[in-house]
Amino acid sequence: MRLACVQLGVEGGAVAKNVAAALDAVRDAAAAGADLVVLPELFDVGYFAFDAYQRAAESLAGDRLGRFAAVAAEAGVNVLAGTVVEDLAASAADGIAVPADDGLANTAVLFDRDGERRLVYRKRHLFGYGSEETDRMVPGDRVPVTEIEGVCVGVTTCYDLRFPEQFRQMVDAGVECVLVPSAWPYPRVEHWRTLGRARAIENLSYVAAVNGSGAFDGDALCGRTTVYDPWGTTMASAGEAPATVTAEVDPAEVATVREEFPALRDRR
């Protein structure tokens, strides 16, 4: 599976502009041969644009995500639109299962080549250190996985990288590649590099840590989108500027590594 990780330049609060840029990036990646395109955390509104969350929120069945479902079908590519601000009450009204009757969620949606919704992941670990996310968002309650292009994939989001038990849940469910849309800021660059690699090493799985690029009111994202193989080796990476990072994900490689180095079987 050819993976394209879009390190999008995100402008705080500029939802229409950000969405248009993301749609163009999906089309470009599909034209270049991608099987799965992954977008960063809150690419629609910008992570640090806290006051814009409420006005940007929509149902998962709303027009904005409908445009990503449409471009997935038109371009014949799988797309992780992820994440966006979800209005939980609006989603519930549209018949979508939600963790709470009201509030907002930081939600990733995976669409397949037909534009069908295949996975919904709502960020479980909300960030409160110098952030308003914990005050404005409702945490998710599920860690789903699904098969795309013959690869079992799961999704976590940004701060989730610090909680290895969540990755173990996905491994137990068969995950081979974990997608991590993020809005990871300076100055914690070494944390970003270390945690993504560690999750790949300890779970013997691919990890695609997909960050955004840009600044908002003094906070700047560090970029450095990186794909790690099941040994924790960097396959492809970016600097801090907008870029698209590509890598080949092979489930046979996961099986080979786990057979050769059976650490997962030695858990107690």
Q: Which residues are catalytically annotated?
A: 41, 123, 158
Q: How many Cα atoms are found within 13 Å in the side-chain-facing hemisphere of 139?
A: 12
- Return d(Cα 162, Cα 180) in angstroms, integer: 12
Strand arrangement, sheet containing 117-122: 117-122, 104-111, 78-87, 36-38, 2-7, 243-248
- Return d(Cα 61, Cα 90) in angstroms, integer: 9
Q: What is the DSSP letter of 184?
A: P
Tokens in use for 243? 């870029």
Cα 199 vs. chain centroid, distance in angstroms? 15
- Return d(Cα 159, Cα 195) in angstroms, integer: 10
- Return d(Cα 19, Cα 65) in angstroms, integer: 10
Polymer length of the chain: 268
- Measured at the CA of 107, the angle between CA 63 and CA 225, to 5 degrees, comes to 110
- Return d(Cα 109, Cα 103) in angstroms, integer: 18
H-run or E-run covering 258: helix 251-260
- Return d(Cα 191, Cα 151) in angstroms, integer: 27
